Amino acid sequence: MQFRSSSRSNARIDQAYVYAELGVRHAICLTHQADSWRSLVSNGTWLSDVAVDGAVYSVAGIDPDDGDIGDDDYSHVILTCTSELDGVSRVVQVEAAPEPLEIMGAAVASKGNFYLYNYAIIEGDVLSDSNVIRYSSKYISGNVTSRQNIWGFTTVNGTISSYDHTIDFPTRTAILNFFIARGTVIPYQRTLYNRVLSTTSNPFGQANPEGVYVMYCNNRRTDIEKCRITGTLVIIEASDGEIEDWNVIKAAHPNYPSLVLDTYSNYEIILDDDDGSYINDGIICTNELYLKDECAIQGPVISLGNLIIEEYSVVTADPERPANPYPYCVEPHLLPVANTWREVVSE
């Protein structure tokens, strides 16, 4: 294959590159046309010998993880386009990934009402698909966006606005199915007390390589106290419960939250950062969630019900989360991943 020829003008060489990039964007555009696009393509050629203005390009797509583009809705795709123009060939490649939902860039997001009380602080954006109500909280250092009403906000270091469209959230089914497929089941505990869970530690059996542990509660209460968790703890069908006393909880996988709380009623997190307690890498709750006392949490904190944050709690947005979204918090279509465009040069 001829990559550059001294007999060709720089203009032709540059134009060939433009058509190679056009081919990649053409392939990405196909993923926007149907949510079921993964069932319509496979590893290999996506576009073949497309002719545009004297140029011809072909595009191949490959799942870099397992070679199966259609086996899940979350995997990235490597797109490679080869263009030909007047004997000049250019090859351009990019990694493409599902577009993250808007909530991935927020500190907190609620599908139900969001309430902020007392001296609570939000370091980042607030999104709600319902009402946002503030009762004398300290401040929000970001934008506040709601699909319905916004009340009581004066100390906001950003914009305050209402949407005229629904804010998208993942479904309970999508969240739970994702982790059930990857998790290790641990026995029900009325109180998970003084335990260490991680990619190398499981006091109940074999450790999970991604640190994902699933507890089925069958409409019973479960509390968490004095635990160190480096992974993702998934609580399913709890009647209610609390995380209280000293706890240090963070995810092991860069694209997973540290806590998934599936409850029939509300769940409360009552922590004191003075004793070193914290929760990093985000929380998802399928019902109502309370943060109380002096919770120190790195978001996003996402609730499919109401979300109440009060007292001296502080929630901070994770600036890296939009680039590393939770797999089930993405749109079906692809977008180029920043800083992954490159030219493939023939040897």
Question: Among 121, 122, 117, which residue's Cα sits nearest to residue 133?
Answer: 117
Instruction: Give dist(CA 154, CA 11) in Å, integer.
Output: 56
Catalogue the E-assigned strands of 101-240: 108-110, 114-117, 121-123, 126-128, 132-135, 139-140, 144-146, 150-151, 160-162, 184-186, 191-193, 196-197, 212-220, 223-230, 232-238
pLDDT of residue 84: 95
* Tokens (6 digits) for 38: 């993964």
Give whole-number Cα distances, 105 to 102, 160, 173, 319, in Å. 6, 16, 22, 7
Q: What dihedral do alpha carbons 136, 139, 145, 148 form, nearest 10°?
A: 0
pLDDT value for 137? 63
User: Is the preceding peptide bond at 100 cis, omega within 30 degrees of 0?
Assistant: no
Nearest to 243 by CA among 222, 258, 228, 274: 222
Cβ 172 vs Cβ 201: under 8 Å: no
Distance CA 212, CA 225 (A): 18
Q: Within 10 A of 282 (CB to CB), how many other CB atoms are there?
A: 27
**3-state secondary structure at position 30:** helix
Between CA 151 and CA 161 the distance in angstroms is 11
Looking at residue 3, its pLDDT comes to 45
CA dihedral (279, 282, 288, 292) positive or negative: positive
Q: Which residues contact 207 (CB under 8 A, 6 or more apart)?
A: 184, 198, 199, 200, 201
Task: Give pLDDT < 50 ranges for the chain.
Answer: 1-5
Please tell me the predicted confidence (pLDDT) of residue 173.
97
Q: Are 184 and 212 in contact (CB under 8 A)?
A: yes
